[in-house]
Structure formats: structure tokens, C-alpha cells
């Protein structure tokens, strides 16, 4: 009985052991809204397919806190983004700018699509050249005529 009681007590206490402290929000709701808007445009470097606003990783929390601190220092959104890009590279943006180092990122999918369409067209042309129509030999023609005559006789 005592072991059962201890087990139930442990089950009740265990979820609290792993709980984290709530992340502090900015004192100013306007600044918090501004930070969230900016965090939607930036990528979590750990999750990579989530924005900073959506991610629950520790790094994303640190980056959001860093954005808040920069905003409290009076930095504009552009200055905050520039700071993060200088620190983490263009990968931190969901929509990196078009520049020589990101041309492949922006136009690579279209180039691959064009190459794929070209290969498909070439393959279809080559396959079309390989298909040749050959006529029936005399023996085959006699067999077809015989089959057709039998079918005509069955119908009448």
C-alpha cells in the first residue's frame, strides 16, 4: 500500500520537474507586437522550417530575447535584421535578398525545371523517331482477312 502511495505521489510531481519557466515578455505590448512581427520574418536556425516566432528551441528564445534588447536600445527593424544577418548570415531570413551569393537559391529551381523540361522534350523526340510503322506482311494480311470473313459469317 505504501509503495502504491509513493508511486502515485511521484506521478503527480514528475510533470512539474520538467516544466520550464515562462519566457518574459516585453513590458511594452507595442514592442512585443513589433518583435513578433519581425520574428515571423526570421528563420529559426535550429528548426530551419519554422520562424523564430513559432519555434520553441532555446536558440529561438535567445534570438527573440536579443531582438527585444535591440529594440529597447532604440534600434529600427532594419537595424535589428541587419545585425542578425551580420551575425548569422542571410540564412536567418525567410526571404533572402537577391544578390550574387543567393542567385542560385532564387533562380536554381526555375533552372532545374527548364533543364528537366528540355530533357523530357529531347527524350520524347528521340522515342518518337524510334517508333516506326511497319505494314502487314502478306501472310498477316491473309490472316486478318480470314478472321474478318469468319466474323461476317457469324453475324449473318
Write the CATH number for 84.
Answer: 1.10.8.640
Mean model confidence pLDDT for the chain: 83
* 22: phi then psi, degrees, rounded to nearest 5: -65, 140
pLDDT on residue 17: 53
Domain identity same for 81 and 110: no
Report the DSSP beta bridge partners of residue 42.
93
pTM listed for this prediction:
0.54
The answer to whether position 10 is within a domain reads no
Model confidence pLDDT, tens digit, residues 28-57:
788 888 998 999 999 888 887 888 888 888
Res. 23: pLDDT tops 60: no
Name the nearest CA neighbour of 96 among 87, 88, 106: 106
User: H helices then E strands: how many in the chain?
Assistant: 6, 0
Distance CA 68, CA 62 (A): 10
Residue whose C-alpha cell reads 527548364 in the numeric block: 114
Task: Judge if 25 and 90 occupy the same domain.
Answer: yes
Amino acid at each position: 500500500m505504501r509503495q502504491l502511495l509513493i508511486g502515485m505521489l511521484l506521478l503527480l510531481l514528475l510533470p512539474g520537474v520538467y516544466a520550464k519557466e515562462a519566457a518574459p515578455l516585453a513590458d511594452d505590448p507595442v514592442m512585443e507586437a513589433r518583435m513578433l512581427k519581425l520574428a515571423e520574418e526570421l528563420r529559426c536556425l535550429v528548426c530551419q522550417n519554422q520562424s523564430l516566432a513559432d519555434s520553441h528551441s532555446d536558440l529561438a528564445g535567445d534570438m527573440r530575447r536579443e531582438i527585444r534588447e535591440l529594440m529597447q536600445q532604440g534600434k529600427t527593424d532594419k537595424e535589428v535584421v541587419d545585425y542578425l544577418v551580420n551575425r548569422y548570415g542571410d540564412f536567418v531570413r525567410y526571404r533572402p535578398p537577391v544578390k550574387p551569393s543567393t542567385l542560385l537559391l532564387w533562380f536554381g529551381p526555375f533552372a532545374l525545371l527548364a533543364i528537366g523540361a528540355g530533357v523530357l522534350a529531347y527524350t520524347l523526340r528521340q522515342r518518337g523517331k524510334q517508333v516506326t510503322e511497319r505494314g502487314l506482311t502478306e501472310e498477316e494480311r491473309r490472316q486478318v482477312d480470314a478472321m474478318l470473313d469468319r466474323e461476317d459469317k457469324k453475324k449473318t
